[in-house]
Amino acid sequence: MGPTMPPSKKAQSPSSGASASQGMTPPYRQGDAATAASEAEAADLSLSLSASFSKAEDEELTSLSWLHESTDLLNSFSHSGLRSVSPLQDPDGQHSRSPSSSSPSLEDALLGDAHSAYDLAAGANRKPPYSFSCLIFMAIEDAPNKRLPVKDIYGWILEHFPYFASAPTGWKNSVRHNLSLNKCFKKVDKDRSQSIGKGSLWSIDPEYRHNLIQALKKTPYHPYSPGLATPSTSPPTLPQTFHHSPPLWSGSPLFRKNGGVLLQVPRGVIQNGARIRSQAFFPVIRPLPVSPVGSRTSAIRSSLGDYLSRGQDSPSRYSPPLCSEDLQDDHTYSTAKSPSRLCSPSSEMDDDDDIIAVEIQSDVKPEPREIPLDSHITSAAAAANYISQQSLRGQRRSSGPGAGTLAGSSLWTKNRARCISDTLPLKKRRAAAVEKPPESDDEEMKEAAGSLLHLAGVRACLNNITNRTAKGQKEQKEALRN
C-alpha cells in the first residue's frame, strides 16, 4: 500500500493557499497612526536585527550568540506595545489566530498572514515537505544533547508540524522505520544514570550528518506547474523565487570556503527548502529551530519568517545577486545518474566544493530576473536541503558492503550498488560495511550548512521586516497624500 499524497491542487484553496504561497497577499494592511508607529518600531527592530546579523557574519557563525540577540530583539519587539507573538498552536494543538485583536494592525500585518500561511501549510493538514529523515534530523539537531528518544522525536515533529497531530498514526511507524533503516541515525547507549524509560536515544551519526544536511539542502520539488517548467514563457504560478537560483548567502563559510564561488540554489528548490512532490505548494518557511532558542522564539522566528518571506512583491529591492548571471552558472544537480555523486560519504564531502562551484548545472533557460529580496535567504535553506539530499542518496548508494572499497571510485554504477546493497538485510549490510575512507574533516562545511539552515529564517525576517516596513511606510505616505 503506497502513500497517497494529497494532490496539491486539491489541497490548495484558491483563496488562501494560492495567494499566500504566491506572495500575492499585500504585505500588510494599511494601518492607522498606531500602525505607523509600530512600523517605525519594526524599522528599528529591523536595524537592530540587521546589526546583530552582521555581527554574526563577522563572527563566522561560530557562535549562535547573535541569534540569541536577535531572538531577544524579536521578543522585545513582540512585547513592546504589540500583541505578543503568541505560539501558533493553541493548547489543544490546533492552530489559530489570536482571538484578541485589540492591538494595532502591525502585528496582524506581521503575523496575521504568517498565521494564515502557517495555517495553510502546517495547520491545515498540509504534509510537511520534508522527508522523515529530515524531520528526524531536525528534531535531533534541535535537542540540546543532539539526541532524542523516539518519543521526543514524535513530540518535536508534532510541535513543529501539527499536520501529524491529525495524521494517521502510521507516521510514527515511519519515523521508527527511518530511524532503524537510515544509518544516518544511530542509537546511543543510554546513560545508566539517565532514565528515559523504554527505548534508546537516537542521535545523528556524525559520519552521515553531512548527508542529512545535504538532504535538507536539496529537496527538489516536483515542477508540476507549467510555470515552473517553462518559466520564460509561462506566467509564474509560484513566486519568482522559484524560478531563480539566487545565491547562497555570501557571508556564509560555504561561500568563503569556495573563494567567493557562490552556491547557486538549484532550480527546483523552493524557498523553504521544501520539496514539492505532487503535494500542494508548501508556502511556509519553517526554519530549523535552534537549540538555544526556545520553542516560543522558534515560533516567532518561524512566524515572522513565514510571513515575511512571502514578500515577493518587492523584487526591485533585491540587492544585486552575487551569483553570476551567466547562463552557464545557473545550475541544477543531476546526481542520480551522475557517477561522481555515487560515491561514499567521504568523497561526497570532498565533492562539496564541487557541489558549490562546479556541479550545479543548468537545466532551465534563464530569464530576465527580478530576484526577491529574501530569495537569497530562503535559498540558503533550500540549498542546504538540496545538498543534503544529494548526500543522502549517495550515502544510500554507498551503503553496501562494498561501499568502502568503492568509495573512491567515481564509477559506481547503479547495478553495482543494487547488487551489493540489496542482497543483505540492512543490519547485516551495516555490519558488513567495511572501513570507510576517512571522512573529510570539513566540519566547517557541516556547521556552515547547519548554520545556513538556521540563518535562513532569521535572515528572511530581517530582510522582510525592512522590506515590508519600507513599503508600508511608502504606502502610508501615498495614502496620506491621497
What is the 8-class DSSP label of residue 119?
I
Query: CA torsion angle for 55, 57, 62, 68 (degrees, to 10)?
Result: 50
Using CB under 7 A as the binding rule, whether residue 76 contacts DNA is answered as: no
Residue 430 forms beta bridges with which residues?
A: none
Query: 29 vs 176, which CB is nearer to DNA?
Result: 176
265/285 Cα distance (integer angstroms): 16
Please work out the total of residues on this chain that contact DNA, with binding judged by CB under 7 A: 61
- Cα–Cα dist 380/351, whole Å: 18
Binding marks (x or -) toward DNA, 139..178, rule CB under 7 A? ----------xxx--x-------------x-xxxxx-xxx
**Binding status of residue 54 toward DNA by CB under 7 A:** no
The alpha carbon of residue 262 and the mean position of all alpha carbons in its chain are separated, in whole angstroms, by 18
Among residues 198, 196, 175, 194, the alpha carbon closest in space to that of 185 is found at 175
Is 410 a binder of DNA (CB under 7 A)? Answer: no
Question: Which of 390, 339, 333 shows the shortest CA–CA distance to 361?
Answer: 333
H or E segment and range at residue 116: helix 113-118
Instruction: Tell whether residue 471 is a contact of DNA (CB under 7 A).
Output: no
Query: Between 421 and 460, how does the x/- string for binding to DNA read (CB under 7 A)?
Result: ----xxxx--------------------------------
Number of neighbouring beta carbons within 10 Å of residue 254: 29
Q: Are 375 and 246 in contact (CB under 8 A)?
A: yes
The residue within the footprint of DNA, chosen from 19, 133, 309, 379 (CB under 7 A), is 133
- How many beta carbons lie within 10 A of that of residue 284, not counting itself? 29
Scanning the structure block, which residue is given the C-alpha cell 504568517? Answer: 114
Shortest CB 126 distance to DNA, Å: 12
Q: Which runs of consecutive H residues, i.e. helices, occur in 145-205?
A: 150-160, 163-166, 170-181
Q: Measured from the CB of residue 417, what is the shortest distance to DNA in angstroms?
A: 5
Of 200 and 340, nearer to DNA (C-beta) is: 200
Q: SS3 for 430? A: helix
Least distance between DNA and beta carbon 208 (Å): 12
Query: What burial class does residue 232 get, using C-beta atoms within 10 Å of its C-beta: 0-12 exposed, 13-18 middle, 19+ buried?
Result: exposed
281 scored as a contact of DNA (CB under 7 A): no
The C-alpha atoms of residue 341 and residue 324 are separated, in whole angstroms, by: 24
CB 391 within 8 A of CB 215: yes
List phi, psi (to 5°) of 208.
-115, 5
Closer to DNA by Cβ: residue 222 or 477:
222
Q: Is residue 124 within 8 Å of 8, Cβ to Cβ?
A: no
Residue 86 or 344: which CB sits closer to DNA? 344
Q: Which of 414, 434, 443, 477 binds DNA (CB under 7 A)?
A: 414
User: And the C-alpha cell for 441?
Assistant: 574533516
Instruction: Give the footprint of DNA on residues 367-406 (CB under 7 A).
Output: 389, 392-394, 396-397
Under the binding rule (CB under 7 A), the answer on residue 209 touching DNA is: no
Specify the 3-state DSSP secondary structure of 264.
strand
The whole-angstrom separation of Cα 160 and Cα 179 is 19
Please name the amino acid found at residue 406.
L
Provide, rounded to whole angstroms, the least separation between the CB of residue 186 and DNA.
Answer: 9
Asked whether position 233 contacts DNA by CB under 7 A, the answer is: no
CB of 166 to DNA, least distance (A): 12
Contact region with DNA (CB under 7 A), list: 44-52, 78-86, 123-131, 295-303: 123-131
Q: Nearest approach, Cβ of 380 to DNA (angstroms)?
A: 20
Q: How far is the CB of 41 from DNA (least distance, A)?
A: 40
Question: Applying CB under 7 A, does 294 fall inside the site for DNA?
Answer: no
Distances 122 to 75, 89, 111, 285, 403 between C-alpha atoms, Å: 23, 11, 15, 10, 38
Query: Per CB under 7 A, does 2 bind DNA?
Result: yes
Nearer to DNA, 344 or 389 (CB): 389
Task: Give the shortest CB-40-to-DNA separation in angstroms.
Answer: 43
Judged by CB under 7 A, the residue of 26, 81, 87, 199 near DNA is 199
Closest distance to DNA from the beta carbon of 230 (Å) = 15
| 310 touches DNA by CB under 7 A | no
**Nearest residue (CB) to DNA, 113 versus 352:** 352
Site string for DNA, 260-279 (x = CB under 7 A): --------x-------xxxx
Rule CB under 7 A: which residues touch DNA?
Answer: 1-5, 127, 130-133, 149-151, 154, 168, 170-174, 176-181, 187, 197-200, 202, 215, 220-224, 268, 276-279, 334-337, 389, 392-394, 396-397, 414-415, 417-418, 425-428
